[in-house]
């Protein structure tokens, strides 16, 4: 999936090959695109998603029930210009969107220019909407100065019922995001939102390392979790390793621009090797008693010295994120793609 195109249908053959069948007209709607980051609620089986557009309404929120039936859309008219909205977060009762300084101006195409740019004068915002909202009246916005996000890590509600906690990657040096990616710095931040006052209560740094493509155990989407895993950029987009972050250690008072104490494990690839996005694979996904970090981290790593790609498997509980398996691939796997792990139980339904 990608928000610039329709979803694609793939087929798994009996010998394990994946064949692309073509574009999929989602829910009978021929022009319906959707985010590459839908959120699936493990307990209910629901999927929450959105699409953004270069024409009004620039953002539309919707959900799909456990039976695969799309529910009525909620157009978001309060978004006054097209922003690059690539990801979002969900909690038990809310969905959180990001209106960053990265904007889309289609008219620039007619001038032979890049349609995606940065509006430095714009105030970044967070949009909070009820998870089961029927219209935009159940949404509100809060200013988030200097917060420019492309990827979320997770979000949840605290036990007081009045606090939304969101963990996400904030891009510093956003003006370089299109032409000089090597100059940007993406660090993990924690934001607390007061639901009662509809305001941003607190903001703090979780890990100041240059990180991207953060993932969690998928069973914890929308729930309070402890661990996240992210790729290390030195510089972006050269991913030289993986770090494990303990979110329970993150600062909760004030905003700090530095701090790396929440990184509790890391694994660096050999010199000349770069990786892509990592994916967390639970060791026992059907066992509710298993620990959150009991699983594996999988990714593709390219070795420019040998011009070969390897599929690697790391132990997520290991203090060094030790590689427990590696498979040399017959050809190179390009960088830049998101990943997903599909268990046998789901493959059998295809």
Return binding residues for Fe cation: 37, 86, 151, 338
User: In whole angstroms, what is the distance from residue 7 CA to residue 28 CA?
Assistant: 12
Chain-centroid distance of CA 350 in Å reads 25
267-297 burial by CB neighbour count: b if 16+ within 10 A, else e? bebeeebbbbbbbbbbeebeeeeeebbebbb
Residue whose C-alpha is closest to residue 83's, from 110, 54, 111, 112: 54
Q: What is the DSSP string of 84-112?
A: -----EE-SSEEEEEE-SEEE-THHHHTT
8 Å CB contact between 230 and 213: yes
Buried b (16+ CB within 10 A) or exposed e, 214-237: bbbbbbbbbbebbbbbbbbbeebe
Q: 61 and 78 in contact (C-beta within 8 Å)?
A: no
**What's the CA gap between 283 and 313, in Å, rounded?**
12
Q: How far apart are CA 315 and CA 318, in angstroms?
A: 5
User: What whole-number distance in Å separates Cα of residue 191 and Cα of residue 174?
Assistant: 19
């Amino acid at each position: 999936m990608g928000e610039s195109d329709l979803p694609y249908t793939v087929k798994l053959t009996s010998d394990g090959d994946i064949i692309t069948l073509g574009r999929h007209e989602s829910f009978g709607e021929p022009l319906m695109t959707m985010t590459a980051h839908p959120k699936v609620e493990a307990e209910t089986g629901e999927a929450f998603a959105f699409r953004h557009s270069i024409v009004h309404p620039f953002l539309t929120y919707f959900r799909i029930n456990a039976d695969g039936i799309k529910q009525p859309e909620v157009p978001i008219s309060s978004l006054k210009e097209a922003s690059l909205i690539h990801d979002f977060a969900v909690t038990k009762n809310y969905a959180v969107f990001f209106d960053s300084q990265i904007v889309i101006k289609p008219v620039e195409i007619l001038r032979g220019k890049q349609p995606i740019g940065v509006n430095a004068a714009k105030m970044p915002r967070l949009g909070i909407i009820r998870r089961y909202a029927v219209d935009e009246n159940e949404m509100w916005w809060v200013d988030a100065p200097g917060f420019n996000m492309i990827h979320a890590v997770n979000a949840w509600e605290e036990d007081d019922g009045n606090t939304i906690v969101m963990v996400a990657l904030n891009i510093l040096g956003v003006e370089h995001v299109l032409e000089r990616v090597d100059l940007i710095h993406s660090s993990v931040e924690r934001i607390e939102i007061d639901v009662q006052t509809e305001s941003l209560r607190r903001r703090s740094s979780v890990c100041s390392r240059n990180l991207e493509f953060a993932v969690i155990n998928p069973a914890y989407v929308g729930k309070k979790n402890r661990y996240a895993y992210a790729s290390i950029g030195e510089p972006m987009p050269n991913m030289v390793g993986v770090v494990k972050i303990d979110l329970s250690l993150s600062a909760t008072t004030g905003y700090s621009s530095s701090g790396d104490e929440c990184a509790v494990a890391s694994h660096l690839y050999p010199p000349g090797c770069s990786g892509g996005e990592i994916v967390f694979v639970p060791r026992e996904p059907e066992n509710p008693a298993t620990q959150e970090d009991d699983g594996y981290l999988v990714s593709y790593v390219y070795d420019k010295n040998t011009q070969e790609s390897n599929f690697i498997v790391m132990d997520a509980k290991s203090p060094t994120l030790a590689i427990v398996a590696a498979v040399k691939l017959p050809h190179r796997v390009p960088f830049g793609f998101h990943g997903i792990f599909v268990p046998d139980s789901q493959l059998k339904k295809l």
